[in-house]
């Protein structure tokens, strides 16, 4: 297949409809950067594959100036037999649409994709992603993109290079088969590992069961019938513990657990009953040891009456004492007044005695001097009887005070007795309240004081009897558990014997299965290794056939003065085919499988172009018999570029050439070097310039054939 026409509309740098005549042996596209050269070549790639890997999303392919917001590309091709093929692909912002016209027959979308792959690259039909395989074939051998010149020899890893070349030389299906077989072998091995793990688990279980069998001492025969004992025990348990009856039979798997839970419950109840018995003993001892003196000897009401009478007597005595004290005080006041009067009279008498004469010293009248003197002397020296008059009254007050004191002591004694009696009564009430509360907690309810001892004794006796019954019933439960254990052990032995026999058969079956699967895996590994070696041998054989061509192309480019040979080396590593590009210095016997470490950037580009052209020319079956180079001038220096021009001139007779350049002089040189030399040959020159929102200005013309051969004089 070769290109005859390309139509672009709304695609990248071509917003307006444009059509290019590509039906020529060589097409030279000239235009400064940004005029649409790469967009033109990308249109060919996208039209045929629907993909441009380096750009990714289809939305990025639609020109921002597209009037319809749609990208549309039409690629017309012609086979060597003259059959035409028209591929129309569009993208409306949501999905792609594909239309294929071939031999007056039109196909759409999926049918068109199938027929397009059949026409261009039939091997892609057998891959999981046909368009991706076609894209890889085109970008590895037909279309050398400007930004990815060195991708094959530098960016791609060894495995990717091997896969690309394997696909080109027709060994891709072998590689796919080996990958599929490897995946199947991995899945097979994974399944085998699962079976092996199952075998190990079964063996581990078998060992565990055999170990359990070794610990069982009872034989499998001779079971003990515990059905009747089981029923009676649970019936008595319901009577004693109020826990109901068993929900499972004696021969059930849950029987031991239920019995153990019931025995524990009975034990808990027995401890509770024993605690109740202890409380009853303690309360009975306190009731029996209650002191008789706790009750008051004299009734409280009598003590209260005596206290009231004593208080009244004290009050009466105090009143009498107060009256006596008032009378005595009045008497003392009178006595004081009398003593003062007597003292004044005695003083007057003494004065008068000193001044007595014939007449009264005051009034001067005559008087009876003797009688007056006698009277005055009596007043001066006469005795006083007032203190004696107060003595009876004082004695009476003292007697009243003594009486009050005695009555107060009696009152204090009476009140103290009353307080003591009240305290004893409160203590008695508190003790009875505490006793009644404890009786209530014990479930005995209110009991008369007279009957409390008898009630406590009877309750203690009943509690001790219940404790004894619970202890005995618990012992019966433990014996029943032992019988169940023996019965269960015999049943367990029978069950283990059955499980061991089953597991032994399963282990034997798994061993046979794992052994068979391992043998199958070994066979698959051998087949897989053979396929890998076959793929590597096919690729190596094809590369060996391509090697002379690669050497001639690389020698023509002549990028390095010492490393003047190149080899594509294949090998198998970790089950994968790998391919390396090596440069060699034949004279010094040196080589490097990392060309980027010994070659400059321009030399690496020359190497990449040489490998690309060698694969294009050396592989017999390609999707297209064409070479598309996007502006190689940007990747090569002048020396390497001249070698490239010579290569292209020699290639023109075998491949349709499409070359773009940003340099007008290089474009003219290319047009001259690639000019037709025979009548049936054609060289097309396309110039792109003045790009605007409507796209570039396009000028197309044919390069004229020289009537004479080019002569080079030394």
Banded pLDDT at 293 (limits 50, 70, 90): very low
Q: Please report the pLDDT score of residue 11 as a whole number.
A: 93
- Please say whether the beta carbons of 619 and 121 come within 8 A: no
Strand order in the sheet with 2-9: 18-21, 2-9, 71-78, 84-91, 96-102, 105-108
- Within 8 A by CB and 6+ apart from 626, the residues are 1, 2, 3, 142, 655, 656, 657, 658
Which 3-state string (H, E, C) describes 534-549? HHHHHHHHHHHHHHHH
Q: What gap in Å lies between CA 684 and CA 671, rounded to an integer?
A: 8
- Dist CA 209 CA 495 (whole Å): 10
Residue 151 has pLDDT above 70, yes or no: no
Which residues does 242 contact at the CB level (< 8 Å), separation at least 6? none
Instruction: Select from 204, 262, 66, 149 the least CA-distant residue to 644.
Output: 149
**What average pLDDT does the segment 41-60 reach?**
87
Confidence of residue 167 (pLDDT cuts 50, 70, 90): low
Q: What is the pLDDT of residue 154?
A: 56
Quick one: which of 4, 122, 27 has its CA closest to 74?
4
Both tokens assigned to 4: 């005859």
Are 684 and 698 a contacting pair, CB within 8 Å? no
**The pLDDT value given to residue 161:** 62
Which of these, 660, 668, 648, lies nearest to 36 by C-alpha position? 660
Q: ∠ at Cα 351 (350, 353), nearest 5°?
A: 65
> Has residue 307 got a pLDDT over 50?
yes
- Residue among 612, 611, 641, 646 at smallest CA distance from 626: 612
- Greater confidence (311 vs 367) lies with 311
Decide if 138 contacts 164 (C-beta within 8 A).
Answer: no
Query: Does residue 638 carry a pLDDT above 70?
Result: no
**To 5 degrees, how large is the angle CA 613–CA 173–CA 80?**
50
Q: Spell out the long-range contacts of 216-223 with Cβ–Cβ below 8 A and sequence spacing 24 or more.
A: 216/489, 216/492, 216/493, 216/496, 217/489, 218/486, 218/489, 218/490, 218/493, 219/490, 219/493, 220/490, 220/493, 220/494, 220/497, 221/490, 222/490, 223/487, 223/490, 223/491
pLDDT given for residue 177 in this prediction: 63
Q: How far apart are CA 377 and CA 631, in angstroms?
A: 177
Q: In which band, very low, low, confident or very high, does the pLDDT at 294 lie, cut at 50, 70 and 90?
A: low
Give the Cα separation of 371 and 419 in Å (integer).
76
Lowest model confidence (mean pLDDT) among 59-63, 192-196, 496-500: 496-500
Instruction: For residues 28 and 682, give the distance between their C-alpha atoms in angstroms, rounded to a whole number.
Output: 11
127 vs 18, residue with greater confidence: 18
Which residues, 6 or more positions from 411, have their beta carbon under 8 angstroms from its beta carbon? 307, 310, 311, 313, 314
Query: Which of 11-20, 573-582, 609-618, 697-706 has maximum average pLDDT?
Result: 11-20
User: Which residues fall within 8 angstroms of residue 602, CB to CB, at 6 or more apart?
Assistant: 559, 635, 636, 637, 640
Give just the sign of the alpha carbon dihedral 47, 52, 58, 60. negative
pLDDT confidence tier of residue 662, bands split at 50, 70 and 90: confident
Indicate if the pLDDT at residue 471 is higher than 70.
yes
CA-CA distance, 252 to 255, in Å (whole number)?
5
Whether the per-residue pLDDT at 533 is higher than 80: the answer is no
Provide the token pair at 421: 């009696």
Least confident of 11-25, 133-147, 301-315: 133-147
H-type alpha helices, 442-451: none
Between 222 and 301, whose confidence is greater? 301
Distance CA 225, CA 231 (A): 12
Q: Is the pLDDT of residue 32 over 50?
A: yes
Distance between CA 573 and CA 575 in Å, rounded? 5
- In terms of Cα–Cα distance, which of 222, 259, 245, 216 is closest to 478? 259
The pLDDT value given to residue 176:
60
Nearest in space to 581 (alpha carbons), one of 153, 139, 151: 153
Rounded Cα distance, 473 and 488, in Å: 22
Distance CA 566, CA 583 (A): 4
Euclidean distance between the first and final Cα of the chain, in Å? Answer: 41
Give pLDDT, residue 183: 73
DSSP code for 14:
B
Strands annotated E in 79-196: 84-91, 96-102, 105-108, 143-144
Q: What is the value of pTM for the model shown?
A: 0.53
Determine the Cα–Cα distance for residues 46 and 93; give it in Å rounded to an integer.
Answer: 15
User: What are the distances in angstroms from CA 610 to CA 152, 538, 604?
Assistant: 11, 22, 10
Report yes or no: 495 and 211 within 8 Å, Cβ to Cβ. Answer: no
Write down the pLDDT at residue 97: 92
CA distance 169 to 141: 11
What mean pLDDT, rounded, does the chain reach? 80
Average pLDDT, integer, range 20-27 = 91
> 157 or 200: whose pLDDT is higher?
200
Q: What is the pLDDT of residue 341?
A: 85
pLDDT at 72 over 90: yes
Tally of CB atoms within 10 A around 441: 11
Distance from C-alpha of 308 to C-alpha of 305, rounded to nearest angstrom: 5
More confident site: 159 or 465: 465
Higher pLDDT, 405 or 173: 405
What is the secondary structure of 541-606 as a DSSP string? HHHHHHHHHHHHHHHHH---SS--EEEEEEEEETTEEEEEEEEEETTTTEEES-GGGTS-HHHHHH
Q: How confident is the model at residue 699 (pLDDT cuts 50, 70, 90)?
A: very high
Give the residue-averaged pLDDT of 75-87: 88
- pLDDT at position 168 is 59
pLDDT of 27 higher than 80: yes
> Tell me, what's the pLDDT at 639?
58
Q: In the structure, what pLDDT confidence band is assigned to residue 388 with cuts at 50, 70 and 90?
A: low
For residues 539-556, average pLDDT: 76
Residue ranges of E strands in 446-564: none
Helix (H) or strand (E) holding 612: helix 601-618
Query: Using CA atoms, how far apart are residues 216 and 211, in angstroms rounded to an integer?
Result: 9
Q: Average pLDDT for residues 99-104, to the nearest whole number?
A: 87
**pLDDT tens-digit readout, 431-450:** 777 878 888 888 887 777 77
Mean pLDDT (whole number) for 418-427: 82
Say which DSSP state 364 is in: -
pLDDT of residue 217: 63
pLDDT in tens, 336-365: 888 888 888 888 888 887 877 777 777 778
Alpha carbon distance 338, 389 (integer Å): 12
| Cβ atoms of 356 and 370 closer than 8 Å | no
Place of tokens 């433990």: 478
H or E element, residue 692: strand 683-692
3-state secondary structure 167-235: HHCCCHHHHHHHHHHHHHHHHHHHHHHHHHHHHHHHHHHHHHHHHHHHHCCCCCCCCCCCHHHHHHHHH
CA–CA dist 138, 144 (Å, integer): 9
Q: Nearest CA to 335 among 294, 381, 389?
A: 389
Q: What's the CA gap between 173 and 171, in Å, rounded? A: 5
Query: Cα separation of 665 and 671, whole Å?
Result: 10
- What pLDDT is recorded for position 98? 92
Give the residue ranges of DSSP H helices in 216-290: 227-241, 255-288
Q: Where is 469: in which H helix or E strand?
A: helix 452-557
């Amino acid at each position: 297949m070769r290109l005859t026409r390309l139509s672009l509309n709304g695609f990248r740098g071509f917003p307006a409809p444009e059509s290019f005549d590509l039906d020529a042996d060589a097409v030279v596209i000239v235009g400064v950067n940004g005029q649409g050269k790469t967009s033109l070549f990308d249109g060919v790639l996208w039209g045929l594959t629907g993909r441009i890997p380096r750009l990714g999303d289809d939305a990025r392919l639609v020109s921002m100036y597209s009037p319809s917001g749609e990208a549309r590309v039409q690629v017309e091709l012609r086979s060597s037999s003259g059959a035409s093929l028209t591929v129309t692909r569009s993208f409306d912002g949501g999905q792609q649409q594909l239309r294929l016209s071939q031999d007056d027959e039109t196909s759409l979308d999926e049918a068109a994709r199938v027929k397009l792959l059949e026409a261009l690259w039939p091997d892609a039909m057998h891959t999981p992603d046909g368009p991706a395989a076609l894209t890889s074939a085109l970008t590895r051998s037909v279309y050398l993109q400007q930004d990815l010149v060195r991708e094959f020899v530098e960016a791609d890893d060894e495995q990717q290079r091997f896969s690309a070349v394997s696909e080109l030389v027709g060994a891709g299906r072998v590689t796919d088969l080996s990958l599929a077989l490897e995946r199947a072998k991995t899945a097979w091995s994974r399944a085998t590992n699962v079976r092996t793990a199952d075998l190990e688990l079964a063996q581990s279980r078998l060992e565990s069961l055999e170990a359990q069998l070794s610990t069982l001492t009872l034989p499998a025969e001779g079971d003990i019938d515990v059905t009747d004992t089981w029923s009676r025990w649970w019936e008595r348990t319901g009577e004693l513990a109020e826990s109901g009856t068993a929900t499972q039979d004696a021969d059930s798997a849950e029987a031991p657990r239920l019995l153990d839970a019931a025995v524990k419950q009975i034990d808990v109840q027995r401890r509770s009953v024993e605690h109740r018995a202890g409380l009853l003993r303690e309360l009975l001892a306190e009731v029996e040891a209650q002191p008789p003196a706790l009750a008051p000897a004299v009734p409280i009401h009598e003590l209260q009456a005596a206290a009231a009478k004593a208080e009244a007597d004290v009050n009466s005595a105090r009143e009498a004492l107060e009256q006596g004290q008032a009378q005595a005080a009045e008497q003392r006041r009178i006595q004081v007044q009398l003593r003062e009067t007597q003292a004044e009279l005695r003083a007057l008498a003494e004065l008068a005695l000193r001044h007595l004469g014939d007449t009264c010293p005051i009034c001067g009248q005559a008087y009876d001097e003797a009688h007056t003197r006698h009277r005055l002397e009596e007043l001066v020296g006469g005795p006083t009887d007032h203190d004696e008059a107060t003595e009876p009254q004082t004695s009476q007050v003292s007697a009243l005070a003594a009486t009050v004191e005695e009555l107060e002591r009696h009152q204090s004694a009476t009140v103290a007795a009353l307080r003591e009696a009240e305290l004893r009564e409160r203590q008695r009430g508190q003790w009875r309240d505490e006793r009644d509360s404890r009786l209530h907690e014990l479930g005995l309810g209110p009991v008369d004081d007279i009957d409390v001892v008898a009630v406590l004794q009877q309750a203690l006796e009943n509690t001790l009897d219940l404790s004894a019954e619970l202890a005995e019933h618990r012992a019966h439960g433990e014996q029943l558990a032992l019988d169940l254990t023996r019965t269960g052990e015999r049943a367990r032995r029978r069950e283990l014997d059955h499980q061991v026999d089953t597991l032994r058969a399963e282990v034997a079956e798994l061993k046979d299965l794992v052994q068979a699967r391992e043998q199958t895996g070994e066979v698959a590994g051998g087949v897989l290794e053979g396929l890998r070696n076959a793929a590597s041998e096919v690729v190596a054989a094809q590369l060996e056939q391509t090697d002379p061509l690669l050497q001639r192309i690389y020698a023509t480019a002549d990028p390095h003065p010492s490393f003047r040979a190149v080899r594509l080396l294949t090998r198998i590593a970790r089950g994968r085919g790998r391919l390396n590009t090596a440069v060699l210095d034949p004279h010094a016997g040196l080589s490097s499988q990392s060309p980027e470490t010994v070659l400059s950037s321009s030399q690496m580009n020359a190497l990449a172009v040489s490998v690309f052209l060698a694969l294009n020319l050396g592989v017999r079956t390609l999707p297209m018999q064409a070479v598309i180079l996007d502006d190689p001038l940007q990747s090569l220096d002048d020396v390497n570029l001249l070698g490239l021009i010579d290569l292209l001139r020699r290639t023109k007779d075998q491949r349709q050439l499409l070359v773009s350049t940003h340099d007008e002089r290089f474009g003219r040189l290319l047009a001259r070097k690639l000019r037709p030399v025979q009548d049936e040959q054609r060289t097309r020159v396309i110039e792109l310039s003045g790009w605007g929102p409507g796209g570039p200005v396009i000028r197309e013309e044919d390069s004229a054939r020289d009537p004479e051969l080019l002569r080079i004089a030394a």
